[in-house]
Structure formats: C-alpha cells, structure tokens
Amino acid sequence: MSVFYEKSFWNLQNKMKDIVILGAGTAGTIMANRLRKSVDRRSWNIKIIDQNPVHYYQPGFLFMPFGIYSDRDVEKPKRRFIPRDVEYIESSVDRVNAEKSRVMLSNGVEVSYDILIIATGVRTVPDQVEGMMGTDWRNRIFDFYTVDGAAALQEKLKDWRGGRLVMHVSEMPIKCPVAPLEFVFLADSWLSERGLREKTELVYVTPLSGAFTKPIAAGVLGHLLEEKRIKVVNDFNIGNVDNERHRIVSWDDKVVDYDLLVTVPTNMGDAAIERSGLGDEFNFVPTDRHTLQSKQHENIFVIGDATDLPTSKAGSVAHFESEVLGENILSYIKNAPLREEFDGHANCFIESGHGKGFLLDFNYTLEPVPGSFPIPGIGPFGLLKETRINHFGKMAFKWIYWNMLLKGLPLPGITQRMSYAGKKIPVGLAVPESA
Amino acid sequence: MAEKQIAGKTIEVTDDGFMVKHEQWDREVAAAIAAEEGIELTDDHWKVLEFIDKDFKEKGAVPGIRRMNKVGGISTKELYTLFPDGPVKKAAKIAGYPKPASCV
C-alpha cells in the first residue's frame, strides 16, 4: 500500500498524466514503442492493457495448415515487445467509461486516462452463422484466422486424400481480405506437390461479386483462378450450415456441398467495445479517416483493425497509421490542430503458390495498380505482378515484423503516405485527391 | 470506363454499369437503372436506397447486409425480396454508388 500512496503522491505533485493503450497486438505494441520515445516521460505515464500474454504473428497463420510454419514461428511473449517503462497490465477489460475517462478492468480495478488509444483489433465470431459451430466444426469445418484453428487444419490436411475443399468467406469486412485467396492458391500448390490435386475439387465461395472486385486487379489476376482450376461461387451470403448434409446454404437457398470447409467466420471488434457503447454494428469504433481520432470522444484515438475505416484491416495499415497517430497524440498534448494525414495506405503480399507471389500497394483513392516497389522503376518488388522475389519478400517479412515493425522502426524506402511514383496508373482512373 | 445514356442523360459508368460520379445520379436515373435490372421501384425500395445514400455520405462505403439489418432496420429477407440475387450489389448500383468491393 505504501508504494501505492507514494506513487500517487508523486503523481499529484508532478501532475503526471496517463496515456492508456487498449490491446498489445500489432497496433498497440507499435504505439507503445513510438510514444515512449516521443512523449515526455516526466509528465506522461504510458500503460498498455491486454488479457492475452502471447503475441501472434498473424500473417503466419496462413502457412500453418500447409506445414510451412508451426506455432513456434508465430508466437512470442507480448511483454518482450513492450518498453520497460511502459506499464503492462495483463487483464481483460470490462468496459470503457468514456464520460469519466476510465477503463474498468474485469477484476473491478479502474484505470483512468487522459488519452485512450483503442487497439483492440478484431476477432472471429463463428457462431454469428447459424449451424457453424455444429457437429462439423473442427471435424469438417476449420478456420485459419486463429492459431488453434490453423493448427487443427494442419492435422486435418495430413489425412486429406481428396474430395471437395471449399474456401468460404462469411461476410465482409474481414481482416487481411486477400488471405482466403492466398489459401486456395497455396492449397492448389500443396495438393499438386502431393499428387492430390486431381482428386480435389477446389471451390472459392464469396459474398462479393467475384474473387477479384477491383477492375485493374481483376484484369491482371482474374485468369489465375481459371488456370488453377478453382471454381468461384459469388454473391453467396450464407444463411446457415447444414451439418447433416455437409453443405452451406445461402439466404436465397443456393447450396454448396463440402467435404472440407475452410471458413473465414464473421470478423467483429472486441466485445468490450460493444459493452462500452463505442462501436458500430461490427463493434468497430467510428474513427476520423484522416486523423484517427474517435468521432465520439476527442480524447479517444483508434488504430488498426479496431477502426471502421474503409481500408484493409492489415498490419501494414496499423504500421502506417502509427506514424500519423504518433504525431497527432503529440499535437493533442500540445493543444495543436490534428494533422489530416492518413490516406488509407495498405501494402500486402499475396502468395500465389509454387514459390511465387504478388504485391499490392494502395490507399483510400487508388486501387492496386501495376508497377514497381519501393524504388520506382527498379523495385525489387513488382506490383500486381507474379514474381519469385515477391514471395521471398513475404517470407522475409516475418523477421521484419518481429525485429523492426513492432518496435515502430521505419521500414527502408517505405513511406507512411502511399507513393504514386513507380505506379502505372491507367488513363481515366479516378484522380486521387492527394496525388 | 464508359459513357451511357440513362434517363436521357450522359452518365459515366464502369464496365459492369456502376456509376462513377454520384453527382450525376437522380431519382430518374435510379428508376432507369432499376428497370434494366428488372425492378420497378416502390417506397420499400426507396427506403433501402435512401439508407444507402445517407450511410455512404457518413461512412464512405456501401453498407453491408448486417448494417442494413441493424442500423437501417431492413431485414435480410426483405432485401432479397426487393433486390433478388445480390441485394447489396444491386441496391448500390441503383443508388448510384460503387460495387461493394474488397481491396483487390
């Protein structure tokens, strides 16, 4: 107790203020590292709250079903990436009382804040689809958006001898929207290597109008599905799962039979956001798309998958956002105007199988286009182009993630704002607002 | 990208007929696009179209089925009755907004 009183006394004397970060995933960890370097430590405490002690390298989940990565590749302790002088609180959150600027932990403790950064991410909620958690769950139905799902699917695939393998997206938006496509491409490759491709029918089921929905990408990549003999079922809004007959049924009574269903369940924001009354219909927090300030409360900021921004939910986005948010927290502390700087920039590799991959670089206004990245005209990566070096980039990213990205270090040659240099922008494409 | 005569106006559309410039949209254009889709617009259709319009201006994206249910108060069944096959896609097209899309 004496320590508590001494600390409180010290805080009062010095009018210490608190930045509280909810969530120690990609976005929260980067922010803790950035802010501890930039915010005056004589007047600001930084606290980070998370209930799960394990940090997952989520892009690695995709590789687990095919035995390319194991859980060892994707797990490290969260605390290892949090600076020592940031207070780490391992607890679940009951709710945020935004009116009183307090976070109520599940154990009843209250943590007050002057600035709150919400970085609670998204989670998969399979029971949003009727019948999804029925008798086929983890027998014939798997996911790879969780570490245990990806590990269970790896076991299942070891016994795969052929049949109808269906990749399915429940509803949009989802984290890493290209991951289900990458899954079918990698499955095609993996099955071919094992002599099982001829015995397997690969089907891709999406609620959207096609596997590719952006015109330029569709033009460049659309042929891949046909080439790889992947059947696409589009405009499929799932109504329920018929576990007895092993089929998914849409709202308008279309059916798709499966022997193995790999589903991306509904993605939603954290339940604590819902309990706090801070979220939309998916528990995503309404956020200013350029400043990252919450639309409801001026001392709340939002980053990463937890936002409702119309860009991809991806680690690269959290990384780019962190630069803008880092600046804006400093501006907010100084009572200066916030910079309307975030442009929706995302940068994503797409594994296409057989040791090759694509790279996408886009923002709110410019869809993925062909070109070279990050050095215009040189690369080494090719945008919207299938190359071996793109695949190596994706595999090298694991090291970059653990050693650079989480620490908030700049990635060489890659800017927070999307660069228009090196991109072949077709004539007639809507002119970006900030080109 | 192409130009198309819709309800006596020259309208910019994508290859699959979605409007590029929302400012070119009006109720006559909506009725004409709906007719091409085999839909005659009623008050119930307009309730959906007006919700999409309001929501797009607020969020910068066409609302999905869950948002239409929860925020717009329009059930999935109703959506399928009003705009058969791909309800969100069809309603977005008639409302003069882009096709719901992923990042690629």
Residue A412's pLDDT is what?
Answer: 85
A35-73 b/e (C-beta count within 10 Å ≥ 16 → b): bbeebeeeebbbbbbbeeeebbbbbbbbbbbbeebebee
**pLDDT at residue B60, as a whole number:** 85
Minimal-distance CA residue of chain A relative to B87: A235
Residue ranges per domain, chain A? Answer: 2-61+76-121+270-333, 126-267
Which pLDDT score is estimated for A433?
47
User: Which long-range contacts link A133-142 to residues 24+ away (Cβ below 8 Å)?
Assistant: A134/A241, A134/A243, A135/A243, A136/A241, A136/A243, A136/A246, A136/A261, A140/A246, A140/A258, A140/A259, A140/A260, A140/A261, A141/A241, A141/A258, A141/A261, A141/A262, A141/A263, A142/A65, A142/A260, A142/A261, A142/A262, A142/A263
**A342 reaches B (C-beta below 8 A):** no
Q: Is A403 on the interface with B (CB under 8 A)?
A: no
Which of A174, A182, A209 to mutate to test binding with chain B, by most B CBs within 10 Å of its CB?
A209
pLDDT reported for residue A8: 53
Per-residue pLDDT, A10? 53
ipTM over 0.90: yes
State pLDDT tens for residues B59-94.
888 999 999 999 999 999 999 999 998 999 999 999
Give the nearest chain B residue to A207 (CA atoms). Answer: B86
Portion 54-83 of A in contact with B at CB < 8 A: none
Closest Cα in chain A, distance from residue B49 (Å): 19
The residues, ordered by sequence, that sit 6+ positions from A165 with a Cβ below 8 Å of its Cβ are A187, A200, A201, A202, A203, A258, A259, A260, A262
- For residue B20, which residues of chain A lie inside 8 Å, CB to CB? 430
| Residues A208, B101: C-beta atoms closer than 8 Å | yes
Residues from chain B contacting residue A430 (CB–CB below 8 Å): 20
- Does A379 touch chain B if contact means CB atoms closer than 8 Å? no
Instruction: Inform me whether the C-beta atom of residue A350 falls under 8 Å from chain B C-beta atoms.
Output: yes
SS3 A287: strand
The dihedrals phi and psi of A2, each to the nearest 5 degrees, come to -60, -35
Domain A2-61+76-121+270-333 class, CATH top level: alpha beta
Nearest CA distance, B104 vs chain A (angstrom): 5
Task: Find where tokens 């016994």 sit.
Answer: A159
Contact between A172 and B66 using a beta-carbon 8 Å cutoff:
no
Which positions in chain B have a beta carbon within 8 angstroms of at least one beta carbon in chain A?
1, 14-16, 20, 59-61, 64-67, 69-71, 76-77, 80, 84-86, 89, 99-104
Percentage of residues of chain B with pLDDT beyond 90: 88
- Cβ pair B104:A289 closer than 8 A: no
Q: Dihedral of CA A101/A105/A110/A116: which sign?
A: negative
From chain A, pick out residues whose CB is under 8 angstroms from the CB of B104: 177-178, 181, 212-214, 217, 221, 350, 360, 368
Low-confidence stretches of chain A (pLDDT beneath 70): 1-14, 430-435
Is B100 within 8 Å of A178 when comparing Cβ atoms?
no
Question: Would you call A288 exposed, middle or buried from its count of C-beta atoms within 10 A (0-12, 13-18, 19+)?
Answer: middle
Mean pLDDT of B43-71: 95
Residue in A with minimal Cα distance to B78: A251
Q: State whether residue A279 is helix, strand or coil.
A: coil
Contact indicator for A166, A205 with CB cutoff of 8 Å: yes
**3 state SS for A343-378:** CCCEEEEEEEECCEEEEEEECCCCCCCCEEEEECCC
CATH number for the segment(s) A126-267:
3.50.50.60
* Residues of chain B with C-beta less than 8 angstroms from the C-beta of A251: 76-77, 80
A208 contacts B80? CB cut-off 8 A: no
- Which residue(s) pair with A266 in the sheet? none
Matching fold, domains A2-61+76-121+270-333 and A126-267 = yes
Q: What are the domain boundaries of chain B?
A: 2-94
Q: Which residues of B touch A428 (CB under 8 A)?
A: 1
Judge whether A26 and A318 are in contact, CB under 8 Å: yes
Closest in A172, A235, A289 to B102, CB measured: A172
Interface A-B, measured as beta-carbon pairs within 8 A, has a size of: 75
Q: Is B103 an annotated catalytic residue?
A: yes
Q: How far is A350 from chain B (nearest CA, A)?
A: 10
